[in-house]
Structure 1
Amino acid sequence: MQLKEIDKKQYRSRLNVVIVGCIVSLAVLSLSLSQTLIYIFPSESGSHFHWNLLGVIVSAIVVGMTLRKLKSHPKMFEVAYIWDLKHQLNLIYRKNRKLLAAAEQGNKDAMLALQFNYQGSRQLWQLDDNTITMSSLNKAQAQLDEWAKQYDAQLDISDYDSQLLKSF
């Protein structure tokens, strides 16, 4: 995955549309399904919890499948890109301890993964206006820059590929 420039205003606008669409779809579908099931299979005890639960589960599956199909639509580019970026950052985060240890020892692949993580996190946090923890990110970046200088490593994130995480 490569980092791309995203228009913050357009991203926020399209994300809000996706969120509202999901909420409305889940509410309408789950109520429709559960009420239909209750009408077809009424309970003498008056408890319809299982039909309501089934309506919510089926609705969540339908909305999830719809989002998956729409992920490649041009209007979903920014939202899908951020989903993919979050997935990549999560993969790196799971190996963060091993990556830090290897980077400290001069492993260029570990440094490259950390560089991608820091730049991707910076982009994500700026898009979501989550700049509170930016100082900790800057400290981690400074440490990585020091290691890169110490081991004479050139870190170009366009060289990053998630396959290099398999060795950690």
Structure 2
Amino acid sequence: MKLQAIDKQLYRSRLNIVMVACIATLAISSLAISQALIYLFPSPSGSNFHWNLLGVIVGAIGLVLVLLKLKTHPKMREVVYVWELKQTLNLIYRKNRKLLAAAEKGNADAMLALQFSYEGSRQLWQLDDNTITMSSLNTAQANLNQWAQKYGVTIDINDYDSAILKQF
């Protein structure tokens, strides 16, 4: 994955549209499905919990399938990019302890993964207006810069590939 420049206002407006559409679709589809099931298979006891639950499950599965189908639509580009960035950062975060230990010992791949994580997190936090923890990110970045300088490592996040995480 490569980091891309994203227009914050465009991203926020498209994310809001996707969220509202998902909520409305899930609510309408689950209600419609559960009401149809209740109409077709009425319960003599009057409890329709299982039909309501099935309606929500089928509605959610349908929504996921529609989102996967629309994932390549041009108007979903920013939302999908951020979604994929969050998944990539989560993969790196799961190996963070090992990456930090390896970077401190001079491992260039660990430093590259950490740099990608820091740059991606910075972009993500700015897009989501979550700059409260930016100081801790800056501290981690300063440590990484010291290690890179100490071991003479040049870090270019354009070289990042998630395959390097397999060694950690």
TM (normalized to structure 1)? 0.99
**Which residue type is aligned with residue 13 of structure 2?**
S
How many residues were matched structurally?
A: 168
Structure 2 residue aligned with 1:97: 97
Structure 2 residue aligned with 1:47: 47
Instruction: Please state how far the C-alpha of 1:71 moved relative to its aligned partner.
Output: 0.7
Using the alignment, how far apart are the partners of 1:65 and 1:90 within structure 2? 23
Query: How large is the RMSD of aligned CA atoms in angstroms?
Result: 0.4
How many percent of aligned residue pairs carry the same amino acid? 70
TM (normalized to structure 2)? 0.99
Structure 2 residue aligned with 1:136: 136
Correspondence 1:56 to 2:56: yes
Secondary structure of the residue aligned to 2:78 is helix
1:15-164 aligned at under 5 Å gives the runs 15-164=15-164
Instruction: Please state how far the C-alpha of 1:135 moved relative to its aligned partner.
Output: 0.5
In structure 1, list runs of 5 or more residues that go unmatched: none
Using the alignment, how far apart are the partners of 2:64 and 2:146 within structure 1? 43
Secondary structure of the residue aligned to 2:131 is coil
Instruction: Please state how far the C-alpha of 1:57 moved relative to its aligned partner.
Output: 0.4
> Which runs of structure 1 show a deviation greater than 4 angstroms over 4 or more consecutive aligned residues?
none
Instruction: Please state how far the C-alpha of 1:78 moved relative to its aligned partner.
Output: 0.1
In structure 2, list runs of 5 or more residues that go unmatched: none
